């Protein structure tokens, strides 16, 4: 076998073991036994267990793993459209992940409990997408918004998307298969999360406002909507 063949063989043996047991519990001995190579092979081909783990994670990690990080829009695209597109792409990625492959299981494990070996790799990977979301929020939020508040808003938006991945087995237990199939498609969830997020950011009518308030808001210029939504809602409540 060539040098590359042996490396690939070790990686393919190590991946499922790391995915099932994690970095700490997996041993070089069992990886080498599974790969059918001698015990010194990991050090020879990878320099040690740490680098082997990093390369195993990278097999499931490459750029394809973050399509939402590459969104591009023509000049003049409203930030509301950008936010909805970002949410749709993130949901497409999250709900399209196949948990049956060791690569995806390893990535999910690493996300839930980052190992020291891959902390920097994951930081740089997720920063690309997070920075793009922050750029969208910069167009929406007032200039005086602090960095930590903008970060919290970003995590809140991402968290709504991530729940439908982490809770994908719980949601149907609560709402039933019929509702799940009718109302929880990627496009429907993207619309919902976008609507909730934009309402919270003042760029859409409050979800609980009356039809009268909603009708009034249609006549408000988009640039002024963020300042008018809350006032219109309070005025409507005062009439009751």
| Tens digits of residue pLDDT in 137-149 | 999 999 999 999 9
Whether residues 19 and 43 share a domain: the answer is yes
CB 53 within 8 A of CB 23: yes
Structure tokens at 11: 């990686």
- Segment 188-217 shows an average pLDDT of 78
Q: What is the pLDDT of residue 167?
A: 87
Residue 224 has pLDDT above 70, yes or no: no
Query: How many structural domains are present in the chain?
Result: 3
Q: Which domain holds residue 225?
A: 208-240
The CATH number given to whatever domain includes residue 139 is 1.10.357
* Mean pLDDT across 35-42: 96
Which residues lie closer than 8 Å to 147 by C-beta, 6 or more apart?
none
Among candidate residues 38, 40, 14, 36, the one with its CA nearest the CA of residue 27: 14
Residues 73 and 51 in one domain: no
């Amino acid at each position: 076998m060539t040098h590359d063949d042996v490396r690939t063989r070790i990686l393919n043996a190590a991946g499922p073991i790391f995915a099932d047991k994690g970095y700490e519990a997996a041993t070089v001995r069992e990886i080498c036994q599974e790969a059918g190579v001698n015990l010194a092979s990991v050090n020879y081909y990878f320099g040690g267990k740490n680098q082997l783990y990093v390369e195993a994670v990278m097999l499931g990690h490459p750029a394809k793993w973050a399509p939402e990080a590459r969104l591009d829009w023509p000049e003049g695209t409203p930030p509301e459209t950008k936010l909805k597109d970002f949410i749709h792409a993130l949901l497409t990625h999250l709900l399209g992940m196949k948990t049956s492959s060791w690569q995806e299981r390893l990535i999910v494990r690493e996300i839930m409990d980052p190992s020291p070996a891959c902390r920097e790799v994951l930081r740089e990977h997720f920063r690309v997408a997070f920075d793009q979301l922050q750029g969208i929020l910069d167009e929406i939020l007032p200039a005086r918004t602090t960095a930590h508040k903008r970060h919290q808003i970003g995590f809140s938006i991402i968290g709504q998307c991530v729940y439908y991945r982490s809770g994908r087995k719980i949601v149907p237990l609560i709402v039933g298969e019929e509702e799940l199939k009718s109302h929880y498609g990627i496009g429907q969830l993207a619309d919902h999360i976008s609507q909730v997020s934009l309402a919270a950011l003042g760029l859409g009518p409050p979800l609980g406002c009356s039809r009268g308030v909603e009708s009034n808001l249609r006549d408000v210029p988009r640039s002024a909507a963020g300042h008018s939504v809350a006032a219109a809602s309070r005025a409507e409540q005062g009439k009751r």
